[in-house]
A and B are shown apart, each in its own frame.
Chain A
């Protein structure tokens, strides 16, 4: 039974990782690409780690897998936040259909951070 669960989790996790990489290649701009990398990538790695916990079914392995998942869940949003802020202030080109820029109100700039790059 555990083997079937492990196999299913392995396949699911690798498919989510593949979707993340596909989004990384195909999505239109940096901020949208971060969406694919952070969420789908973390989910894929987390599913595979849960599969490992099911496969070995030992306390030590399960705790280590849970520690790895917790660490991924804690660090992925922080890293994404850092990259997103740095990308915004280094004026990456946004997708032409993006029309909401809420940071502009906070920093009292007109529209996107530097209008010359629009």
Chain B
């Protein structure tokens, strides 16, 4: 059920629409790539946008429990981004041509 107050309802509808369009734009970058790092950056932005969407929806719907969902989602999204970045780092270090150049930084692996 939307909130009674008129300005918040209008601004909430605007914000939800703008955030949906933003998520679609970020999805376009996720599809386009071209490198794996681009996709990880796009996923990171999408997760931040979803946190913003959940917060805006919890104002618009008058349902405070969505705020807890937003906090939990932010936690999981950070873990996902960190795991993907580590995966990319490891696969970059495994390449043979990089290995020679990186002999002095084995502690990063």
Are A14 and B19 in contact (CB-based, < 8 A)? yes
Majority secondary structure, A binding face:
helix
User: CB-CB contacts of B64-82 with A at 8 A, as 1s and 0s?
Assistant: 1001101100110010011
- Interface pair B41/A24, CB less than 8 Å apart: yes
Q: How large is the interface on B (under 10, 10 to 19, 20 to 34, 35 or more residues)?
A: 35 or more
When C-beta atoms are compared, the residue in chain B nearest to A116 turns out to be: B97
Flag if B7 contacts A14 (CB, 8 Å): no
Interface size range on A against B: 35 or more
Inter-chain CA distance A65–B93, complex, in Å, is 39
Contact with A along B46-64 (1 / 0, CB 8 A): 0011011001101100001
Tell me the complex Cα distance, A20–B89, Å. Answer: 25
- Whether A10 touches B92, Cβ cut-off 8 Å, given contacts A30-B35, A34-B41, A79-B78, is no
B106 within 8 A of A: no
Q: Which residues of B contact A37 (CB under 8 A)?
A: 41-42, 44-45, 48
Q: Are A30 and B71 in contact, CB atoms less than 8 angstroms apart?
A: no
Q: Does A14 contact B92, Cβ atoms closer than 8 Å? A: no
The reply to whether A87 and B98 contact each other, CB–CB distance below 8 Å, is no
Q: A24-B42, A85-B89, A107-B105 are in contact. Are A10 and B23 (CB under 8 A)?
A: no
Q: How far is the CA of A7 from the CA of B19 in the complex (A)?
A: 15
- Residue of A10, A18, A72 with most partner-chain B CB within 10 A: A10
Task: Specify which chain A residues have a CB less than 8 angstroms from the CB of B45 in the assembled complex.
Answer: 20-21, 24, 36-37, 41
B86 near A3: Cβ-Cβ < 8 Å: no
Known: A37-B44, A48-B15. A7 touches B85 (CB 8 A): no
**Does B96 have its Cβ within 8 Å of any Cβ on chain A?**
no
Does A56 lie at the interface of the complex (its beta carbon under 8 Å from any beta carbon of B)?
Answer: yes
Q: Is the CB of A17 within 8 A of B52?
A: yes
Q: Complex formed: what's the CA distance from A51 to B67 in Å?
A: 12
The answer, among A10, A20, A22, A65, for a CB contact under 8 Å with B15, is A10
Q: Which residues of A contact B (CB under 8 A)?
A: 3-4, 6-8, 10-11, 13-15, 17-18, 20-22, 24-25, 30, 33-34, 36-38, 41-42, 44-45, 48-49, 51-52, 55-56, 61, 64-65, 67-68, 71-72, 75-76, 78-80, 82-83, 85-87, 89-93, 107-109, 113-114
